[in-house]
Amino acid sequence: MFGFFVFFVFCVVLFLLLSRKQVQKDSAWWVEIVTSQPKGTYYFGPFSNVEEANHAQSGYVEDLEGEGSKVIAVQVKWCQPKELTIVEEEQLTYS
């Protein structure tokens, strides 16, 4: 019976370690920038740590503002964005 308990604990610990590794593999630090002109959300990254992301964010803001965007929010997030650029379609014009 004790052997079964030890095996059960081993399986639970192994499962938790593998689950945590999968979450870490799929996520990283990203800079999220929200603009109002055009209305959109931009993700820059991935970064291996929050300090790198914080250090890089001002350069991304400068680039977007240099292209005429109005930045309204900047945030460093631990995530895995599905899309790197999300712009509302009504803002887009096609030539």
pLDDT of residue 7: 62
Q: Which residues are CB-contacts of 78 (< 8 A; sequence separation ≥ 6)?
A: 27, 28, 29, 30, 50
Residue given tokens 């499962």 in the structure block = 15
**pLDDT tens digits, residue range 33-88?**
999 999 999 999 999 999 999 999 999 999 999 999 999 999 999 999 999 999 98
| Res. 15: pLDDT tops 60 | yes
Q: Structural domain boundaries of the chain?
A: 27-91
pLDDT of residue 20: 53
